Amino acid sequence: MTANEWKWTSRDGLEMYARGWTPDGQPKAVICLVHGLGEHVNRYNHVGQAFTGAGYVLQGFDLRGHGRSGGLRGHTPSYESLLNDISDFLADAQKRHPGLPVFLYGHSMGGNQVINYALRYPDGLRGVIVTSPWLQLVSKPGVILSFLLKIISAIFPSFSQPNGLTLADISRDPEIVSAYAADPLVHDKISARLFTVMEANALGALEHAATLKVPMLLMHGSADHISSADGSKEFAKKAGSIVTLRIWQGLYHETHNEPEKAEVIRAMLDWISGHL
């Protein structure tokens, strides 16, 4: 396996950080990763090692406002900026690995973006993997606060506040929680604009689920206290048989970082193999 990193420039001039894991020998496919809120791509090193061990390239980038990428922490000027970043990263993956099937993999907030990307721009994608997507939050602002956030988003979009995440909710593994808390590249910020566009597109994804044209593996922990598994169930029901839904009983938000992570990652690899 070879691990490498590089930088690229977004359409609006931000310096973006990327990381890749490439197997020895000829890879079978390339999987492009979109991470969750507040984190960064290097938290997926063990996933990269597992994917390369199975003969796949895994590459991801730190989202704008996250990790080593530029931009205000936890902020985006628009949802379209996020989708443009994904589009440009996919194009780069195809240049780096010409002819290989391309899969898109998103977790949590990244899952929301990946779902919406697949709904709008399915061409060129062999399949999509989504874990614990932000489709329905377990705890979200009430009607009045949601209304105020929309107003703030319109007049002061970069206004940020703590995301309110309870760290113990990410995983049942205390070592994962401790590492997350000590990670200097992890942050707890979310801007009014980022929250409102994510919520709007969570609703949009559920409304347009039936138009999905790309095979999807959708996985969620039943005990996720951050994003509700009910949102994934609703999306899968509306999308139909093109979605393979798997609910992991008792698992928390980061299914790939739970004590059962080897089984979770194996399920991803098996699904990819079945769609080559």
List the catalytic residues: 108, 224, 253
207 CB-near residues (< 8 Å, 6+ apart): none
Instruction: Give the total residue count for the chain.
Output: 276
- CA dist 206 to 120, 241, 248, Å? 13, 15, 21
Contact 8, 92 (CB under 8 A): yes
Tokens of 237: 């029901």
Phi then psi for residue 60, to 5 deg, are -145, 175
- CA dist 246 to 35, 43, 255, Å? 20, 23, 11
